[in-house]
Amino acid sequence: MQPLDLVIDRARLTTGATCSICIAAGHIVAMPENGADLPAARERIDIGGALVLPGLIDGHNHLDTTFLGDVWRPHQRCTAGFDLGERLAIQKEWLARGAPLEKRASALIERAVSRGTTHIRTHVEVDPDFGLRHLEGIVALRERYCDAVSIQIVGLGRGLIVRPGTRELLDEALTQGADLVGGLDPAGFEGDIEGHLDVVFALAERHATGIDLHLHDGGHLGLFTLDRIAERTRLAGLGGHVAVSHAYALGEVSNDAMLETAERLAAANVAIMTNAPGDHPFPPIAALRAAGVTVFAGNDDIRDSWWPYGDGDMLERAMMIGYRSGFYTDAELACAFDMITDAAAGVLHIPDYGIEVGSAADLAIVDARHAQEAIVARPIRRAVYKAGRLVAREGTFLPEAGSAPSATLHPNLAGV
C-alpha cells in the first residue's frame, strides 16, 4: 500500500459497517477491517465508532446575496402580497446598503464548510444593474476556498428577454467563470416561454454547458413550462445536464397531471431541486422519485432579503425536507439523505464522490449511528475533511483552510 497521509480508525459507515479509512493523496485508498496491519501514516485517529458521512452537497444556494456576516437585516415584505419584481427591487436596495460581497459570501462559505458541506452549486446574479461584479467576486472566492469546498457557479440571468443587455452579460459570464446557464420564470417574469428557452438553450449549446433554471411559475403554466424544458432537453441531447429549481407547479396540480409531466422529466433526464420552501407548495418528492425523476436538495436563500432563515447546514435542510414531506420511515429519511449526497452528486457531476475506495476523501464525522439519526439530530460536525485535509473542527471553520490573504484576492473583489 502507498504511504498514507491519514488513517481514521473505527469509522462507522452509513451501511452500518465499521472499518478503518485510509487516505493518501486526497483519496480513500483502502477501507480495511478495524485493527488491520497498516503502514505508518502521517496521522492516525480513532473516532470510536462515530459516523462518517460523505461531504454534503448544497445543490442550490445564493452566496452573493446572503447577509450572513453582515449586521442583521430585518425582513421586508412586499407591499401587497408576493411580487417577484418588487422582491428583486428590495433585494437590490438591501444589497446596496449591505456589507461587501466578499465579507458576506466568505462568511457563508465558511459556515457551510463548518456544517460538512464540501460541494456547492451557487446561483449568481447577472443583470444590467449588477453587471458581472457578483460573478467576479464569487469566482475569486471560489479560488480562495478551493482547498475547502468545490463551488459550481450558475450565471443567473434575470431578465434574458425583458431586460436588454442581460443575455449578452450572461454570454460573457459563461466565458468568465460561470459553469452553467441560469434563468428565471420564462412565463411569469419574462412573458415569453419559448423566447426565454431559446436564449437559454442557445447559450448552453454555444458554451457546451448545462442549465439550471429557477421556475416559480405555478399550476398548469408551470407544468407546461416543465414539459417544454423536457422536450428541449431531449432535442438538445442535454439529458443529465439540465435541472429545474423549485418547480412549485409539480406540487400545485392534480396527482395525474403531475405524473404526466414527471414521466417527461424522467424520460428527458431533467432533475428537480427543492428546498421544501416555507409555506409554499413544492414538488412531491417521493412520487417524483418513484416516477424516475432525480430530485436533489439545496438551501436556496440563506439569511438574505428573501427570508431570514438558514445557516448553510444541509443536514438541517434534509430535516426540513423530511419534515415537510411527512418522511417518517428509515427509507424515507434515507431519501432525504440521498438528496443532499448521492443524488446531488449525480446532478452536479461530482467526480469520485462517496465513501469508498477510490473516492475523493471529502467527509464529515458526526456522533450518530446512521444517516437517519444524523438528519433528525443534526449533531455538530466533529471534523470535516476536503481531499483528506482537515477544514473544520467541532463546527468551526479552520481559517488556514481558506488561506489566501486578502491582499492577494482578485482585484475585482475590491469595491464589490
Residues found near Zn ion in the complex (CB under 5 A): 300
Nearer to Zn ion by Cβ, of 89 and 377: the residue is 89
Supply the minimum distance, in Å, between the C-beta of residue 25 and Zn ion: 36
Nearer to Zn ion by Cβ, of 173 and 364: the residue is 173
**Torsional class of 300: left (φ above 0), alpha (ψ -120 to 50), beta (otherwise):** left
Q: How far out from the chain centre does Cα 74 lie?
A: 25
Supply the minimum distance, in Å, between the C-beta of residue 245 and Zn ion: 6
CA 197 – CA 226 distance, rounded (Å): 11
Supply the minimum distance, in Å, between the C-beta of residue 321 and Zn ion: 15
Nearer to Zn ion by Cβ, of 304 and 338: the residue is 304
Nearer to Zn ion by Cβ, of 300 and 362: the residue is 300
Residue (of 168, 154, 131, 184) closest to 63 by Cα position? 154
Nearer to Zn ion by Cβ, of 248 and 385: the residue is 248
Nearer to Zn ion by Cβ, of 179 and 300: the residue is 300
CA 232 – CA 194 distance, rounded (Å): 10
Residues 6+ apart with CB under 8 A from 195: 161, 186
CB 248 within 8 A of CB 218: yes
What amino acid is encoded at 154 in this protein? V
Measured at CB, which residue is nearest to Zn ion?
A: 300
Nearer to Zn ion by Cβ, of 127 and 300: the residue is 300
Residue 415: strand, helix, or coil: coil
Supply the minimum distance, in Å, between the C-beta of residue 184 and Zn ion: 9
Supply the minimum distance, in Å, between the C-beta of residue 349 and Zn ion: 20
Supply the minimum distance, in Å, between the C-beta of residue 297 and Zn ion: 12
Nearer to Zn ion by Cβ, of 256 and 279: the residue is 279
Q: Supply 387's cell numbers.
A: 481531499
Residues 6+ apart with CB under 8 A from 17: none
Supply the minimum distance, in Å, between the C-beta of residue 282 and Zn ion: 13
Q: What is the DSSP secondary-structure string of 144-199?
A: HTTTT-EEEEEEEETTTTTSTTHHHHHHHHTTTT--EEE-B-TTTTTS-HHHHHHH
CA 273 – CA 314 distance, rounded (Å): 13
Residue (of 311, 262, 307) closest to 289 by Cα position? 262
Supply the minimum distance, in Å, between the C-beta of residue 62 and Zn ion: 6
